[in-house]
Amino acid sequence: MDNRQANVLACIDGATLTEAVCDHAAWIALRLAAPLKLLHTIDHHHETAARVDLSGNIGLGSQEDLLEEITTLEQQQSKLKLKQGKLLLQAAKGRVKEAGVSEPICCQLHGGLIASLIELEESIRILVIGLRGQVHDNQPKQIGAKLEAIIRSLHRPILIVNEAFKEPKRIMIAYDGSKAVDKAVEMVAASPLFKGLTCHLVCVNDDEATAAKLLERAAEKFSAVDDIELITIKVKGKAKEALCKYQQQHDINLTVMGAFSHTRLHDMLLGSFTHKMLVNSNKPLLLLR
């Protein structure tokens, strides 16, 4: 995949976090000089299911008329969803253009979000999505119903947005020495997205000697980088609590974590360090693969 042609893809659905998703995506696109695509999907699955359920309860004498009426209502509902989606994309396009993105691409697809993202995966450079969609809007301790499946399905960086946009100045890498996080460190060191920022490389480990060795190894990957200020920190305690506390104390704007294999990530989300970070960090989380 040629990253110069790949899109920053922002998923929008009209939920409370939609504006924040647009703002974060615009910032990334401008930093990377990458095209920005705004995606809205229309899932008709629930309409079809409702029709099947309703038709099964219709009496013999009126079945034909009622089925015809249901079909008409479905068509009207589909047209309304299509119009709402177009208006949403139009508003999002105006917002990212105000942020400086000159030619955003609007895309409306029929079908489920997960299937649509898998189909578009080869053209995605970074996916930007809200922590919660409309289903869990205004439920701060919930994550989106489809988010776990999206993370497990895609092999692209995913920025999960959970607050209004604030231009990042300080990022944090949660470092544990794993291969996935080593890869994340390499990507941060090499990407123009993080140039000029301060990077806090934080290792949570009660064994100070082990933490020091891990951080030394990770810091070597920044040895040739002169436009990222690197701070290495050893922290003790439980990972989730320690990292969230460090975020607050040092005003971290963005946390970077390595993603995991499908099975491991599934376990983590259900089990769940990643899940706890998503729910409790109150800061955007960038998962790198």
pLDDT, position 57: 52
Asked whether the whole model's pTM tops 0.75, one would answer yes
pLDDT, position 147: 87
Half-sphere exposure of 111 (CA within 13 A, CB side): 9
Bigger pLDDT: 232 vs 80: 232
pLDDT in tens, 39-87: 999 886 654 444 445 445 545 455 666 677 767 777 677 778 788 889 9
Bigger pLDDT: 82 vs 113: 113
First to last CA, the chain: 15
Task: Take residue 36 and report the two structure tokens written for it.
Answer: 């920005």
pLDDT, position 124: 97
pLDDT in tens, 144-189: 678 888 988 899 999 999 999 999 999 999 998 888 888 889 999 9
**Predicted confidence band of residue 266 (pLDDT cuts 50, 70, 90):** very low
pLDDT at 117 over 80: yes
Look up residue 283 and give its DSSP letter: S
Residue-by-residue DSSP string for 17-68:
THHHHHHHHHHHHHHHT--EEEEEEE--HHHHHHHHHHHTT--GGGHHHHHH
Bigger pLDDT: 117 vs 139: 117
Q: Which CATH superfamily is 7-44+81-161 part of?
A: HUPs (3.40.50.620)
Q: What is the dihedral of CA 114, 119, 124, 126, to 10 degrees?
A: 10
Nearest to 124 by CA among 31, 9, 289, 11: 9
Bigger pLDDT: 153 vs 229: 229
Query: CB of 20 within 8 A of CB of 163?
Result: yes
Percent of the chain residues topping a pLDDT of 90: 56
pLDDT, position 88: 93
Name the average pLDDT for the chain.
Answer: 84
**Predicted confidence band of residue 127 (pLDDT cuts 50, 70, 90):** very high
pLDDT, position 257: 86
Q: Break the chain into its structural domains and give their ranges.
A: 7-44+81-161, 170-284
pLDDT, position 278: 79
pLDDT at 141 over 80: no
Q: Please count the other Cβ atoms lying within 10 Å of the Cβ belonging to residue 243.
A: 24
**Predicted confidence band of residue 273 (pLDDT cuts 50, 70, 90):** low
Look up residue 272 and give its DSSP letter: S
Q: Was domain 170-284 assigned CATH 3.30.310.220?
A: no
CA dist 122 and 106 (Å) reads 18
**Predicted confidence band of residue 200 (pLDDT cuts 50, 70, 90):** very high
Domains 7-44+81-161 and 170-284 are alike in CATH topology:
yes
pLDDT at 269 over 60: no
Dihedrals phi, psi of 200, to nearest 5 degrees: -95, 110
pLDDT, position 118: 95
Contacts (Cβ under 8 Å, ≥6 apart) of 213? none
pLDDT, position 45: 60
Query: CB of 75 within 8 A of CB of 48?
Result: no
pLDDT at 252 over 70: yes
